[in-house]
Structure formats: C-alpha cells, structure tokens
Chain A
Amino acid sequence: MKKSRTPSPPRLAQRIFQWWAGSADTEDLLGDLDEQFVYNLQTKGRRRSQWIYSLQVCSLLFSYALRKRKRAASYSTYYPNNSMAMLQNYFKIAIRNFQKQKLFTVINIVGLALGMSICLLALSMFVSIFRFDEFHTQKDRIFQVNTRIADRNQKDLYASTFNAVGDYMGEKYPFIEQVIKIKSGFNPEIHHQGNLMSFHGYFAGSSFFETFSFPLISGNPATALAEPFSIILTKSVAETLFRDTNPMGKTLETATGTYRVTGVMADLKQTHFYFQVLTSHQTYEILHAGTNLQSDWKTYRNNYVYLLLKPNTSPEALRDALAQVSARASEFNPDRSIILESTKLARIIPSWSISNGLGVGWDLPTMIFFMALGLLILMPAIFNYTNLSVARALRRAKEIGIRKVVGAEKNQIRAQFVVETILLTFLALIGSIFIFKLIQTEFLTMIIGADSLDTSLSLSVLAVFILFSLIIGIVAGIFPAMYFSRLNPIHTIKGEIKSRSGGVSGIRKGLFVFQFFVSLVFIIGVGAITKQYAYVLNYNHGFQSDNILAVPFQNIDKQVVINEFKTHPDVKAVTAASNLPGLPLPIMVDITPNEIDTLTVHQVFIGEDFIENMGMTLTWGESGNQQRSTRNEELVLVNEQFLRSTAVFGAQQDSLVFSLSDGTRCRIVGALKDFNFEPLNELIQPLVFRYSLAESNFALLTVHSKDIKKTINDLDAIWTGIDQKASFEASFLDDKIEQAYYFLVIQIKIFGFLSALAIVISCLGLLGMVSYTTENRTKEIAIRKIMGASNNSLYYTLTKDFVKLILIAAVIAIPFSYFFYDMVLLRVFLSYSDGLGLPEMVLSIAFLFLVGFAAIYWQTFRVTRENPASNLRHE
C-alpha cells in the first residue's frame, strides 16, 4: 500500500487525548496541535514533528486548561440542577415497573429475601460477637494472659497459662491491681429431688465480681467467692433448682462436697465466659490438696489468668513484665520455648485461632465460613435478578430508547437501574427480616453457646443490614444497568432488540448453570448426611449395644443393687461402667510408661464381666483376673491403640507396666481389639479399662424380655426396695447412642434448610426465565402451531435450552459433590464413615430434576394451550 503524501499526526497520542478529554470542547486545541504539526513538518521532518506533537499532547493532558474544560463539559446545560426531582422520578418509574411486572417483582423479592435471610443471621452474629465483653466498666484495664508454646511437636497459642503465673505476677508487679485466677472444669452434679443434675462452671478468684461487671441479683460481690465451697448460680439455674424460693444461703449436695449458695447472677449475655455455676478458687485448692499450684510452672491447660491493671498503666510495663515472667517460665521448661502474651478483654472474642480457649470460643474462621455459606445461597438470588432483568429487556427497551433520544446519558440510565435494584433489595430486606426472625431461634438453639449471643434487632444491627442490602443492590443491579445503558436507541425503538433477547445466551447461561450447580451440591449433601445418620446407627461399634439397659447408680449401694438385679429372671447379666460406650468420653488421664514421657489416654472404670457382657473381643490375655489387683499393682485392660501409642517410647523394662499421674502402678493383663468407644466422629484413642465398682456410674443390664415394660417396672420395684431416695431411671444403650449422634440430625436440618432455600431460589429463577423466553416467542409458537407442530414438539423446542443447562449443571455438580462430600466433608466430620453412595446421588438429582421440569412444564403448558390465532392478532 502506498503511503499517503502528507504524514499524519501520531494516532496513539490523538486517541489518548480524545479519550481523556471526553466530551470537553477541544476543537481549538486540536486545531492548534495540527497546525503546529504541519508547520513543523516543513522544517523538522516527520519523526521529530510527531515527537513534538506527542509532547504537546502530554503538556495539554496535565494542563489546567483541559481540566477546566472537562469540568465545564460535565455540567452541561441539559443536566438538571435539581437531582432530587430526578431521583423521585427514578423511584416513581421503579414502583410503576414493579407493579406492572408482578411476576418479575415477586420472584426477585422472594428470592432475595430467602437468600438474604441466612446472611442476616450471620451478620447479626458477627455484630454480636464483635461487641462481646464491651459492657465491663473496667474493660480497658483487664487483660487475659495467653501462652505461646513451641516445642518439637507443636506450636500453639493457648488462651490459658501456667498455674503459677497468677500469684507470681500479683506479688511481683505493683501496677497490677487485681489478679483473677479462673479454672475451668467445675462440673458439679447436684442432687436435686432424687435426680443428679450436672452443671458446668468455673473455679474463680474472689475478686471476680469486683473486676468484671456481672450484675449480682443477690449476694455481696466482695464476699460472694471469698469462702471455699461457696457457689454462685445464674438465674436460670437458680430457677430450676429452687423455683420460687430464695436460694441464698441454701446448700447443694454434690459428690465433691456441700456447697453453700452465696449469690445469684443474671444469665450471661455478650461475654466470652460461658458457665452456669461459679465456685471460689479456694475450692479447687482444697479439692486438689496434693498439688501446689504456686510452684507449678508445667501445667498450662484449663488455667486462666486475668489481670486488672491500675489506671494509667503503660502497655510497655505489662509487656516487660510478661517478658520477665516468660523467662521465668522457660527456666522450668527447658525443652520448650515459651512466650507470654496478653489480650485485651474485649478482644478475646472473636479470636482468629487459639487453643484451649475459655468458654465457647467464637472464632473468625467458623464465622467466615458461615457467612460464605450465606452468600452461596444469596448468589443464585442475585443471578436471578440479573438474568430476569436482561430477559425482560424487551419490555423496558423502548422506554430506554426514548430516554436516550430525549437526552439521557449513559450514567443516568445506569443510575436509574441501580436505584431501582436498590429499591427492590430494600423491599426484599423487609421480607428477609421476617424470615430471619422466624428461623433465628430455631437456628441459634442448634449452635452451642448461642444463648449468650444478643442477636436482637438493635440499631447497629439494622444499620449493618441496610448497608448490606445496599451493597447487594449495587452488585445485583450493576450488570443489568450496564446492559441497558449500552442499548442503541434506534434499535430499541424499531423493536430490533427482540430477536436478540429471544434466547438465553452468554454469561446468563453461566449464571444459570451455577445456580443449579449450587442447588445440586446442597441437595446431594442432604442425601449424604442422611445416609451417614442411618449408617452410624446401624454401625457395629465393636460392642453389643442392643438389649442393654443402662441404669445410673445415683447414690444407691452399687453392689447390693447389682446382686438384686441379677435375681430377676429377664436379666441375663449385669455389669457396671463409669461411662457408657458409644457416647463421648471426656475423662482423660496422664500415664507414663517409662517415668519420662507422658501420654494422655482415656480411662474407663468397669465392673465385673464388662468385657463379656458387652461382647468385646480380647486379642490376648484375659479379663477375668482384674479383681486380683494388689495394692502395689493394679491390673488393667487396654486397647490395641494404647499398645501402639506406648510402643514408640521404648520402655526400658517391662513394657506391660506403666504408672498413672497419681503414682498408681498398672500392669496390663489383656488387650482389646480396637473398637469405637466414642461416637464415630472421633478417632480411636488409647484407652485403659480399670476395674472399680466404686467409680462406676451406670449399671449395664443385659435384658431379654418379652414384655419390656413389665421388666422395667419390676426392676424399679427392686430398686425402690433398696433405696427410696434415689430415683430409678433406665434407658436403652441404643437410644443413648442415637442421642449422641444428634449433631448429625442438626447437620441434616441445616443442610436441608439451606438446600431448600437454594432450590426454591433456583426454581424461581427457572420459572421466570422460562416465562419470559416463552413470552418472547409467543408469535413463533403460534406460527409453528398453525404449521402443524404437535404439542410434544413444541415442548421440545421450548424446553431444550433449559434442559441442556440443567444437565450441564448436573455434569459439573456430580463429580464435584462426590469429591467434596466423600473425600473431604465426611472424612473430617465422621472418621469412620463409608462415604457417599450412588442411591442418594441419583435420588437427590432426580428430585431436583423433577422440581425443575415441573416449573418448565407449568409455563410452557400455558403457552402451547393458547389459541394461535389470537396470539398472532395480538401484536
């Protein structure tokens, strides 16, 4: 190609200038530039002239002249000064449109309201958690001492600290006003009207109520925790135990002693502490008289220290003090690196990741996961809005065309649609708050510790909700707004837009597939967990669980009641145990196989014939000789896991001998085949069976009876014959185990609810899409019908696009959910599960298809039934 004779100015510089100047008036500037370029050409040559041109463009780009002209251009004379009137007009048009397009409005409001409800739940919890412990008047001066411990095996931050730290710091540093020592694990079982009721709480230092601002309903905050064996009850506990009578000064009988009620406090709200009862720290010292806490620089679990600093203490003073104490702690633990840290009271919750936290320990990762789950449900609803907005373009296109012809700029069209979307999300928010209120209590009861959350609708919560829906409105509205602002006014007015919006295309297909993908994943999840629930209930844990009746001993004479039970003809055998197999096993004990290393194992106390009656198998040794324990040596049974765990220590002498932390020497006389003593979500842990009827809490009766009611009544009679005060309770071990898997029921409920939401939202979207596309094709269908198309072929043409998309979603979702549930989720939650099965997958998918096709059929049926002649005449 021949070069043109006169060289032209550099294209790029011109483009940049024009783009940057936008609508500003630059005619004279461009003219000047051109003229100079032509003039330069005569003397300086092409390259140099172009270079000078570019430089001049640069100087203009950053010049005041252009800035001013741009500013002037943005306030064109067409732009109304009164933007309130414009906003009013947007609202008016939006509301008219909502009224005119009822299907669109209803689908979107319902979808968004459902989708937002879960997010609102998460948000309200977020707001609540971030305001934990804000009510303490001295909160700025209270710190929790944390311990960072690193050794060969682990590196963790603990919320707890060494036993000795509290007293040591209190004596040594004058800027500390109060030290509050708290020990968790005060779990008294209180005898109440013949029943044993267990509560959970803490051992707390005497200045607890002076430091923290928990209101005492009755009792003196200064002396409530001063005496050993004094107990503080929360209001709800006081009401269960004493009903209307005043509990002050009353005594409570427990296995560890008699406690005197010295105070009643309000139920806990908005705090990281989580307890029902409190007793004094001195009680702990008396109950564990053997241990000297003040010199214990080794144990750091379940022991918490809070410091109340004097006013105006500098943060450096505390930091230096903690560094000194860390150095002291390191002297006692030469093989570990120890750093003490402090956390401000209000910052304890939410924690990012901390071990051994006091209370429920709301951590951010869980909350973020919950929020993400909410957003996952909300996203399909947002996609619905986007999809349907674009699909109904036909109806709005003319309006936009006229607006543009009259002089609306792109920005204004965009603003109009975003405002409209925000208005819609606000309407949805109102509905969403109703749903939120409905599901709130149900959901919160499923979450442990949620009773201390304050999720009522306060002003700040509402503000967060409104901000949230504003963001959702913008996110949902931006894509349709862009689409509409780009429409060509000539096309819209001529009606050419019609053919383009007839099908489902491009990005909308992707969004559609994503919706059904999410729905499928959730519904397969429901199937997976339901199957696990059935599976664990029928799983052979490794012991016999049917026909076993568990009876708590209460205060009855254990040996007598066992002997008496044995006399009943239906009772085949009786044994005893401290914990029921198949239920969580909280009791741990430290053992040492070689006097150096320690290992934490589970321990269970059992009675005579436990192994035989429960149908457990021994791999070697025998169980019958446990009673022959001597004072020097206790004979115990262990499981195989125990032997594997101790094998790594390489015991010097007898590998069958180990000692417990209290000094008891034990000899292993038998090993049990590994079995799941705990629920299947726990791994099989090292376990030691010790023989002790005194420590046993349950009688386990093997019962073969034709009339179980009568048998239980007989047993009750035997029981009452021995002791009238203790009450007889019997429950089948099977039922107890089923209760232990209640967490799976909760998961089924949550997943069921979430998938119901996802499916409803996706199907609403499907309904809307089908109805809009069929509506756009009314004429086409009428002509097809006149030409002799059968109903079936019409169904086929109308539905094939959607069916294809649902199938694509299924093709993606099936391998994904298989991997996700089978490989990840179930393996994490249930250590011994059999994974995901084919039938649940097929069933879940079939269910979704059924619902989806029903939605499609409903809409297409309407269109195909109509009289083609009236449809043709219609337009």
Chain B
Amino acid sequence: MKGYLGEFEELVLLTIANLGSDAYGLALIRDINERAGRNLSMGGMHSTLTRLEEKGYITSHLGEPTRERGGRRKRYFELTNSGIASLNDMKALRDELWANAKVNLSI
C-alpha cells in the first residue's frame, strides 16, 4: 500500500506533526497558507481531516473551553501510529525514487 496517501493529505499530516499539541482546524489552515501559500476553504480543510480520521491516520479530541471564540472548544488533531507509518512509507518511496533517478535532480 505504498503511496496511498494523497499529496494534500500528506501535507496536512506533516503540518499536524509540525504544530504538535496546537494542531486544530484554523491553525492548520493558517500554517499551510503561510508555508505553501495555499488559500484553503474551511470546508475543504475539515473534509480532508474527516477523511484522514476515517482512514485512521489521525485522532481528534476536544480541548478545554477558552474565552476566545465565544467559549467554544477547539478540536485538536494528533497523528496515530498508522499515520506515522504511512508518512514513513511515503518518504521511503520518495527517497527510493530520488536515489534511483537517472536524471540529475540536483540544482
């Protein structure tokens, strides 16, 4: 099942890993916007998160209510072991392809 992960899904998983314990919906949108320059809609982001959760790559839990956002709780996302495994698979596939490239890929 190598390379099953989609490109955007991979991006989201890696961003979750980067944000650590502060990975919730809006933070992910902002982070991806800053790093990759992609303007994401909320629907798109949450749909991808839902699908990743269905696949078992991430889990989620609600945080504590805070004063900001009208007292509404945030939903935090965490990578699961299978999420980490599939990220590794993806990386291994990439490395293999990079290593075996017949064309000089370095700039």
Q: Which residues does A use to contact B, with CB under 8 Å?
A: 27-36, 38, 55-56, 58-66, 68-69
Contact = CB atoms under 8 A, between A and B. Distances in A.
B51 to A, nearest CB: 7
Contacts of B46: 29, 60, 63, 65-66
13 contacts: A28-B25, A28-B62, A28-B74, A28-B75, A29-B25, A30-B72, A32-B25, A35-B26, A36-B26, A36-B42, A63-B46, A64-B51, A69-B50
A56 B73 contact: no
B56 to A, nearest CB: 15
| B43, B50, B72, B73 interface centre (most CB from chain A within 10 Å) | B43
A33 B62 contact: no
B104 interface: no
A29 B74 contact: no
B69 A65 contact: no
Interface of B: 24-26, 29, 41-44, 46-47, 49-51, 54, 62, 68-70, 72-75
B74 A31 contact: yes
Given A56-B41, A59-B43, A64 B73 contact: no
B24 A63 contact: no
Contacts of A27: 62, 72-73
Contacts of A68: 50, 54
Contacts of A59: 41-44
Contacts of B24: 28, 32
Contacts of B41: 55-56, 59
Contacts of B75: 28
B68 A38 contact: yes
A63 B43 contact: yes
A37 B29 CA distance: 14
Contacts of B47: 63-65
Contacts of A36: 26, 29, 42
Q: Pick the 3 closest A-B CB pairs, nearest first.
A: A59-B43, A63-B43, A31-B72
Contact of B49 (A33, A34, A56, A65): A65
B50 A34 contact: no
Contacts of B74: 28, 31-32
Given A60-B43, A65-B43, 8 more contacts: A27-B62, A27-B73, A29-B42, A34-B69, A35-B68, A59-B41, A65-B47, A66-B46
B78 to A, nearest CB: 14
A34 B72 contact: yes
B6 to A, nearest CB: 14
B83 to A, nearest CB: 18
A61 B72 CA distance: 19
B50 A65 contact: yes
A56 B25 CA distance: 13
A55 B41 CA distance: 8
Nearest to A26: B72
A2 to B, nearest CB: 21
Of the candidates A30, A33, A59, the one having the most CB atoms from chain B within 10 angstroms of its own CB is A59
Contacts of B68: 35, 38
B70 A33 contact: no
A61 to B, nearest CB: 7
A450 B51 CA distance: 66
A550 B46 CA distance: 97
Contacts of A29: 25, 42, 46
Nearest to A68: B50
A62 B69 CA distance: 23
A68 B37 CA distance: 28
Nearest to B47: A64
B25 to A, nearest CB: 4
A28 B43 contact: no
B70 A31 contact: yes
A55 B44 CA distance: 12
Contact of A62 (B26, B43, B49, B54): B43
B68 to A, nearest CB: 7
Choose among A31, A55, A61, A68 the residue with the greatest number of B CB atoms under 10 Å from its CB: A31
A33 B43 CA distance: 11
A626 B97 CA distance: 122
Contacts of A60: 42-43, 46
Contacts of A30: 70, 72
Contacts of A58: 43
A515 B96 CA distance: 84
Contacts of B44: 59, 63
A53 B24 CA distance: 18
Contacts of A35: 26, 68-69
Contacts of A61: 43
Contacts of B51: 64
A32 B62 contact: no
